[in-house]
Amino acid sequence: MGRIKEIRRRRTFAIISHPDAGKTTLTEKLLLFGGAIRVAGAVKSNKIRNAATSDFMEIERQRGISVATSVMGFEYKDHKINILDTPGHKDFAEDTFRTLTAADSVIVVIDVAKGVEQQTEKLVEVCKMRKIPIMFFINKLDRPGKDAFELLDEIEFKLHCKVTPLSWPIGMGIDFKGVYNKYDKKLDIFDRSSLVVNDEGASILLDSIDDPVLDDKLGESAHKFREEFKLVSGVFKEFSKKEYLHGDLSPVFFGSALNNFGVRDLLDCFTDIAPHPQPVATDTRDINPEYEKFTGFVFKIHANIDPNHRSRIAFVKVVSGMFERNKYYYHTKLKRTFKFSSPTSFMASKKEIIEDAYPGDIVGIPDTGNFRIGDTLTEGEELNFIGIPNFAPELFQYLENADPLKTKQLNKGILQLMDEGVAQLFTRTADGKKIIGTVGNLQFEVIKFRLEHEYSALCRFEPVDLHRACWIGCEDKNKLKDFKDKNSYFIAVDNKGKDVFLAETAWSLQRAQEKFPDIKFYFKSEI
């Protein structure tokens, strides 16, 4: 198959949701359709955990939340699908934001009973900022929940997404009869007693919703459904692929991931309409996936993926050209070439060494410490992919070494965890004190736990009075020096050596901004 064909058949996307809405269950059912796994429950079992899912870390097993982000690829009806798994927990939002830079579209899972939840709002905001096409899956229809119209209103109102339902539920909870798939004009009947529901053959094709088959299958519910459906057609915009691809209109599907109901409808429509790999911005130009030279960027680093081997993997999204094993590629920040002899792909059932990869694919590169999030690889061109955000942290603690005999291990561990983007390290210039900044409290526990279990180092966190840490810059080097001299106790460097201002209070930050109008304060740093 030619390169262009390979690009067009790829769908690289992320599933996002508030925790517990059903993201893991939906992922698993999608993998079942792709033949990537054979039994339900495998995503949470060791089988896949050993390969590429995010459930392998012990801390995560203890807490039942997805800490890491990983990739699962599978083939479905001539399409190569790459799912980017994202942690739902709010303390790991930064990881999710970075993963979204590698996604060409997203599916948002919403719990029918809970509706739009807080974490969904934040994540969708980022997708909208980046104009990523969004599809919604309203899950758990086998349980009682909110009225479908009310849910769609909520999505439009809280998430500012224009929606158009491409399927419509018939009943809900114990009265759940099935869904009408508007996209493919067919009826799927929900059968609680069967586990092989929503098989392709089980759908009933309908000419129109006036078809008497509806009355046979749905009995009295048919009338209510027809009334609702007419209303739906009047109230919501007709689906337009163009508007969806621009991020202006979001299709909505209803179903029950646990019962594998409505999932095939979602997947079939998704493969049909979702975008293939899209152009990505660099500091010099946008790179089109069809450009023949290889380019790619690192959006995630994961250390110690296998606790038995000290390994570190950089996740590279191929943006253009073709990635080939054992070929030399140029690392634009280090200005050095590297050859990769054992790049891996992440097919859900196993992690395997690959010979080549196409735009949209994620390649895992074993790394000995050369890569950082945001790094660019090319065939020699000087360019850097942009838009991978590093947010100014809001929670801070001093990092203290609790076992001086393990100082080396602590320093190594902390630097590796920072490269992974778990948190940010600021070293205060005045006294060399190390401050860890995070977006959530859980990260402190993750750092402590991982330092101990992966690096045999012990640390202690102590409170520090800090309001914000923001990156600073000024075109006039003398003015920047003057600012740093006058605020010397509040100046630090991040682990890439960038200047940072540590503001003790909101007031001190405001005062610094007013007193030094030429200094720029950044609350987001691009990696």
- Binding residues for ligand G4P, per CB under 6 A? 17, 19-25, 88, 139-140, 142-143, 256-259
Task: In whole angstroms, give the CA distance from residue 105 to residue 87.
Answer: 17
Of 89 and 302, which has the nearer Cβ to ligand G4P?
89
Of 259 and 378, which has the nearer Cβ to ligand G4P?
259
Query: Residue 205 CB, nearest distance to ligand G4P (Å)?
Result: 25
Residue pointed to by tokens 């925790």: 19
Taking a C-beta distance cutoff of 8 angstroms, is the pair 52, 68 a contact?
no
For the chain, the first-to-last Cα distance in angstroms comes to 36
Strand partners, 377: 296, 331
Task: In whole angstroms, give the CA distance from residue 255 to residue 268.
Answer: 14
Task: In whole angstroms, give the CA distance from residue 350 to residue 218.
Answer: 43
- Residues with Cβ within 8 Å of 318's Cβ and at least 6 positions away in sequence, in order, are 294, 295, 296, 357, 358, 359, 360, 361, 362, 363
Of 26 and 459, which has the nearer Cβ to ligand G4P?
26
Query: Residue 125 CB, nearest distance to ligand G4P (Å)?
Result: 19
Task: In whole angstroms, give the CA distance from residue 487 to residue 435.
Answer: 17
Query: Residue 147 CB, nearest distance to ligand G4P (Å)?
Result: 18
Taking a C-beta distance cutoff of 8 angstroms, is the pair 287, 280 a contact?
yes
Of 111 and 454, which has the nearer Cβ to ligand G4P?
111
Neighbour count for residue 130 (Cβ, 10 Å): 14
Taking a C-beta distance cutoff of 8 angstroms, is the pair 133, 459 a contact?
no
Query: Residue 347 CB, nearest distance to ligand G4P (Å)?
Result: 21
Residue pointed to by tokens 């943006």: 319
Query: Residue 54 CB, nearest distance to ligand G4P (Å)?
Result: 10
Q: Which two tokens stand for residue 365?
A: 């590169």
Query: Residue 137 CB, nearest distance to ligand G4P (Å)?
Result: 10
* DSSP states of 142-161: TS----HHHHHHHHHHHH--
Of 23 and 79, which has the nearer Cβ to ligand G4P?
23
Query: Residue 275 CB, nearest distance to ligand G4P (Å)?
Result: 24
Of 179 and 435, which has the nearer Cβ to ligand G4P?
179
Of 45 and 441, which has the nearer Cβ to ligand G4P?
45
Residue pointed to by tokens 């690289």: 12
